[in-house]
Amino acid sequence: MSRTEAVRIRRQQSVADDIAQVADRITRRAHEIFERGGGSDLDNWLAAENEVVWKPAIELRETKSDFLLTVAVPGVDPKEIEVEATPRDVVIKADIHHEHSEDKGTVHSCEFMCGSMFRSIHLPKKVNPEAVKAEYKNGILKIQAPLSKEQTRKIEIDAA
């Protein structure tokens, strides 16, 4: 029987700093690849991005009252997952660990990811970050983000 675990949500004003940090790490790694005699700038960037960050698959669905975000994170400890919410973005982060033990035999092939998981999802409408909820079950992270009640209003201009 599987169980559902709550995932901690952090509210913040902007995700720009997180995105800038990830981009900086990718840039530094792309430069290292270039210095070793790597290929084109794009090839170096894509290789670095693949090494530095794992971007899990997502599904973003909108209902009448909220966004439902489903994220495939199999094998990730829910205690390692951090979800951050702003009125227009959801960021999912985790450090991924995978180790081999020599006393359990020789590893001939391993495709498990190690390093950082990072995914930033820009939402098409504003949500209430204070009401965002997340749960983890069977390798699937489900995030519910209620739509903001805040409506756009038209401002009349006084002509002088």
For position 29, what pLDDT does the model report? 80
Domains: count for the chain:
1
Q: Which structural domain range is residue 132 located in?
A: 5-14+53-146
Would you say residue 62 lies in a domain? yes
Please, what is the Cα angle at 55 between 121 and 138, to 5 degrees?
95
For position 24, what pLDDT does the model report? 85
Would you say residue 128 lies in a domain? yes
What one-character-per-residue DSSP string does 60-118 give?
EEE-SSEEEEEEE-TT--GGG-EEEE-SSEEEEEEEE-----GGG---S------EEEE
Quick one: average pLDDT of 7-30? 74
Whether the full predicted model's pTM is greater than 0.85, yes or no, is: no
Please, what is the Cα angle at 38 between 118 and 32, to 5 degrees?
55
Closest CA relative to residue 5, chosen from 152, 160, 155, 142: 142
For position 151, what pLDDT does the model report? 60
Would you say residue 28 lies in a domain? no
For position 1, what pLDDT does the model report? 44
In the sheet that holds 66-72, the strands lie side by side as 5-6, 133-137, 140-146, 66-72, 58-62
* CATH code of the domain in which 97 resides: 2.60.40.790
Would you say residue 42 lies in a domain? no
Would you say residue 102 lies in a domain? yes
Would you say residue 70 lies in a domain? yes
Would you say residue 35 lies in a domain? no
Quick one: average pLDDT of 50-62? 87
